[in-house]
């Protein structure tokens, strides 16, 4: 065989082995006798190798094609301009700009509030804006959000496929069933609402964690010994940490779902072991994410966080079919309400139709049904009591966010309820058509989505560009991330970066040496002592030095701008966003937790017998 033939042979063999490995992900941990339909060891059957190898491409291609189909309207209408689109896209551009200045983990959004800034990146989890900024750096800006949406939908489908391969009985459910459930979850009606109406990119990315949560909880419940149970803590803690680092409301929802699942399974097994596993995973997950969590919790006292649950954003204004004084708010509420009713009705009907599956998977069927009922109840006004008393529940803001979990249960019950019928694909097709119809009717009858053209997206880029005097147009900030003393409605959008405060008679000459997100340096030549008003909101993490000495700054009462005291003559002013103690402690905790996890993995790794 010549060298070219040898190379082709090795490539084919490599892909074959990779396909086998990926195909066996879903069956990892299952007894060998259960992996093959006839009870023989699966890894001894060559035809099973071929079947597993095919799993490398067909599920991924089906999920990718379904995710792409969601974006077909983009070619004709533009990019969806949902509720949160400007928040996310401006965040991506802000992060990308700070990366270019060597700030690899941003904290302060310098161009928010039209250049006065806010500590957005301390409080908003980093996963979505890191991915968005990376895509914006690699691909054309006008395509970045489309590619992000596609990646998030594909990730959701892949995680559901892994769950299906692990927990769907191979004797009853075929590979096509696993592909269908993955595709249905990737493009379920709630995901379509997120894509077309909400542009909630972080929540969409978090959807891939819900199937993994169920998968790992079931794996922990299936553990037969103490060692296996301890091993289950590690991957579960990683999923919980990823939830905190992706979307805080989704993380709250995932943790409450975890508690419900563990209580139900512990009660079913009459064993408290699962509760200890869950508590350990939650604690370890919080430690892994402490570099984000600790500053986000501690520094809430420095911002107006109560605005996150102000009128229009609080749970009481967002139950299904609620009415407020805002017509646009109520129109979207009707959209999401009818989507919720559709998913609830189909889920409950499919659960009843899947009662034969309960004979072999009683524990899983019961858990899914109770979880679905809990998600359903929490979306209606009657559950207002729970939203008021349960810790941090109100910061989920929108009760219909529980559709993130319900959509997964919806996909599972639709698949298993139709798997054994003669016309299963007719019934599945009917559910898919119903999903499309509910979206189309909502689109045309209740509230049409909004769209941005390529010119609109390029205008965002222009607003972020730095002009003469280190000035930029900037963008509108977020109320809940605004520093406490600041009033964005009173700011002067045309103000210079440095000016003399008030009616002082002093004249000022300024030379700016550096003006980026976390570091500013300039020289101010004053004819008399006074205060300099900066185009910057006051925040405790700012440290100011004048001529090498740390000074106490003041706050302009009307706007919340930082005021720096200076003397007559030349004043060398340096301003730096410093690393506060909570950030330092959080980073240490995350570092120690990460090292502990690696050590734990090495300790639990099976050792090869010595020959």
pLDDT at 603: 79
CB 523, CB 511: distance < 8 Å: yes
Query: Distance between alpha carbon 467 and the CA centroid of its chain, in Å?
Result: 33
* Residue 610 located in a structural domain: yes
Handedness of CA 383, 388, 391, 392 (dihedral sign): positive
State yes or no: pLDDT of 17 exceeds 70.
no
Range of weakest confidence among 18-27, 395-404, 580-589:
18-27
* Residue 401 located in a structural domain: no
Does residue 594 share a domain with residue 536? Answer: no
**How confident is residue 167, by pLDDT bands cut at 50, 70 and 90?**
confident
Does residue 605 share a domain with residue 569? Answer: no
State yes or no: pLDDT of 321 exceeds 80.
yes
Does residue 603 share a domain with residue 547? Answer: no
- Name the range with the highest mean pLDDT among 46-55, 374-383, 595-604: 374-383
Does residue 573 share a domain with residue 513? Answer: yes
Query: Which DSSP category does 302 fall into?
Result: G
**Cα–Cα dist 114/480, whole Å:** 16
Q: 56 exposed, middle or buried (CB, 10 Å; 0-12, 13-18, 19+)?
A: middle
pLDDT at 224: 67
| pLDDT one-digit tens code per residue, 180-220 | 999 999 999 999 999 999 999 999 999 999 999 999 999 99
The number of CA neighbours under 13 Å toward the Cβ of 37 is: 9
* Residue 462 located in a structural domain: no
Q: SS3 string of 395-443? A: HHCCHHHHHHHHHHHHHHHHHHHHCCCCCHHHHHHHHHHHHHHHHHHHH
| pLDDT one-digit tens code per residue, 219-252 | 998 876 666 667 789 999 999 999 999 999 999 9
List, as one string, the DSSP characters of 177-195.
HHHHHHHHHHT-HHHHHII
Count CB atoms within 10 A of the CB of residue 65: 11
**How confident is residue 466, by pLDDT bands cut at 50, 70 and 90?**
confident
pLDDT at 602: 82
State yes or no: pLDDT of 2 exceeds 80.
no
Largest CA distance in the chain: 93
**Helix (H) or strand (E) run with residue 543 in it:** strand 542-546
- The per-residue pLDDT of the chain, averaged, comes to 88
527 phi, psi to nearest 5 deg: -80, -15
User: What CATH number should be reported for the domain holding residue 538?
Assistant: 2.60.40
State yes or no: pLDDT of 437 exceeds 90.
yes
* Residue 390 located in a structural domain: no
Q: Which domain holds residue 506?
A: 496-578
Q: 406 exposed, middle or buried (CB, 10 Å; 0-12, 13-18, 19+)?
A: buried
pLDDT at 166: 85
pTM of the model: 0.89
Q: What is the mean pLDDT of residues 554-581?
A: 95
**185: closest CA among 218, 212, 216, 207?**
207
CB 191, CB 153: distance < 8 Å: yes
State yes or no: pLDDT of 314 exceeds 50.
yes
Give the number of domains in the chain: 2
pLDDT at 186: 97
Burial 457-485 (b: 16+ CB within 10 A, else e): beebeeebeeeeebbbbbbebbbbbbbeb
| pLDDT one-digit tens code per residue, 404-425 | 999 999 999 999 988 766 678 8
Does residue 591 share a domain with residue 549? Answer: no
Does residue 610 share a domain with residue 556? Answer: no
* Residue 322 located in a structural domain: no
Pairing status of strand 542-546 against strand 549-550: antiparallel
| pLDDT one-digit tens code per residue, 254-276 | 999 999 999 999 998 888 889 99
* Residue 246 located in a structural domain: yes
pLDDT at 387: 96
Does residue 250 share a domain with residue 221? Answer: yes
* Residue 525 located in a structural domain: yes
pLDDT at 608: 63
State yes or no: pLDDT of 71 exceeds 80.
yes
pLDDT at 12: 41
* Residue 546 located in a structural domain: yes
State yes or no: pLDDT of 36 exceeds 80.
no
Handedness of CA 351, 352, 355, 356 (dihedral sign): negative
| pLDDT one-digit tens code per residue, 343-361 | 999 999 999 988 877 777 8
Does residue 569 share a domain with residue 501? Answer: yes
pLDDT at 600: 84
**Cα–Cα dist 538/486, whole Å:** 8
Query: Which residue has better confidence, 272 or 457?
Result: 457
Beta strands (DSSP E) in 11-136 are 79-80
Does residue 225 share a domain with residue 286? Answer: yes
């Amino acid at each position: 065989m010549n060298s070219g033939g040898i190379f082709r042979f090795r490539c084919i063999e490599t892909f074959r082995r990779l396909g086998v490995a990926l195909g066996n992900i879903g069956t990892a941990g299952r007894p060998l006798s259960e992996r093959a339909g006839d009870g023989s060891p699966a890894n001894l059957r060559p035809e099973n190798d071929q079947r597993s190898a095919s799993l490398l491409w067909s599920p991924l291609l089906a999920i990718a094609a379904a995710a792409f189909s969601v974006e077909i309207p983009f070619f004709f209408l533009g990019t969806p301009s949902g509720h949160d689109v400007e928040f996310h896209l401006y965040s991506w551009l802000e992060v990308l700009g700070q990366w270019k200045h060597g700030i690899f983990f941003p904290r302060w959004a310098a161009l928010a509030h039209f250049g006065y800034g806010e500590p957005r990146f301390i409080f908003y989890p980093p996963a979505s804006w890191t991915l968005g900024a990376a895509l914006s750096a690699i691909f054309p800006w006008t395509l970045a959000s489309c590619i992000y949406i596609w990646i998030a939908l594909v990730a959701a489908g892949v995680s559901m496929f892994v769950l299906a391969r692990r927990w769907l009985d191979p004797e009853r459910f075929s590979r096509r069933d696993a592909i269908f459930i993955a595709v249905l979850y990737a493009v379920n009606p709630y995901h379509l609402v997120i894509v077309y109406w909400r542009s909630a990119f972080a929540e969409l990315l978090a959807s891939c964690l819900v199937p993994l949560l169920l998968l790992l909880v079931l794996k922990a419940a299936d553990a037969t010994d103490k060692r296996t149970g301890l091993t289950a803590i590690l991957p579960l803690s990683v999923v919980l940490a990823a939830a905190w680092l992706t979307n805080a409301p989704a993380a709250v929802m995932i943790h409450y779902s975890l508690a419900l699942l563990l209580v139900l399974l512990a009660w079913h097994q009459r064993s408290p072991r699962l509760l200890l596993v869950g508590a350990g995973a939650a604690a370890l997950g919080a430690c892994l994410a402490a570099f984000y969590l600790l500053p986000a919790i501690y520094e809430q006292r420095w911002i107006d966080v109560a605005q996150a649950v102000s009128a229009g954003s609080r749970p009481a204004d967002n139950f299904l079919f609620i009415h407020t004084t805002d017509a646009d708010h109520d129109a979207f509420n009707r959209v999401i309400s009818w989507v919720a009713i559709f998913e609830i009705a189909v889920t409950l009907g499919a659960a009843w139709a899947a009662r034969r599956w309960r004979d072999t998977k009683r524990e899983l069927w019961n858990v899914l049904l109770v979880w679905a009922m809990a998600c359903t109840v929490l979306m209606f006004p009657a559950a207002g009591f729970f939203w008021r008393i349960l810790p941090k529940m109100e910061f989920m803001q929108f009760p219909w966010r529980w559709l993130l979990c319900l959509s997964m249960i919806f996909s599972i019950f639709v698949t298993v309820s139709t798997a054994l019928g003669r016309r299963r694909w007719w019934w599945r097709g009917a559910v898919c058509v119903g999903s499309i119809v509910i979206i189309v009717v909502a689109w045309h009858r209740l509230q049409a989505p909004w769209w941005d053209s390529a010119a609109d997206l390029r205008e965002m880029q222009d607003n972020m560009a730095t002009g003469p005097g280190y000035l930029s147009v900037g963008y509108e900030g977020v109320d809940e991330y605004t520093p406490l003393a600041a009033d964005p409605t009173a700011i002067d959008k045309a103000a210079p970066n440095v000016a003399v405060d008030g009616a002082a008679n002093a004249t000022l000459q300024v030379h700016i040496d550096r003006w980026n997100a976390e570091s500013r340096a300039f020289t101010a030549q004053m004819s008399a002592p006074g205060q300099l008003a900066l185009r910057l909101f006051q925040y405790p993490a700012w440290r100011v030095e004048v001529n090498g000495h740390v000074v106490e700054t003041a706050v302009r009462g009307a706007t919340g701008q930082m005021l720096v005291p200076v003397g007559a003559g030349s004043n060398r002013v340096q301003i730096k966003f410093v690393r506060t103690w909570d950030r330092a402690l959080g980073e240490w905790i995350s570092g120690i937790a990460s090292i502990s996890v690696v050590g734990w993995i090495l300790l639990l790794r099976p050792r090869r017998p010595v020959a």
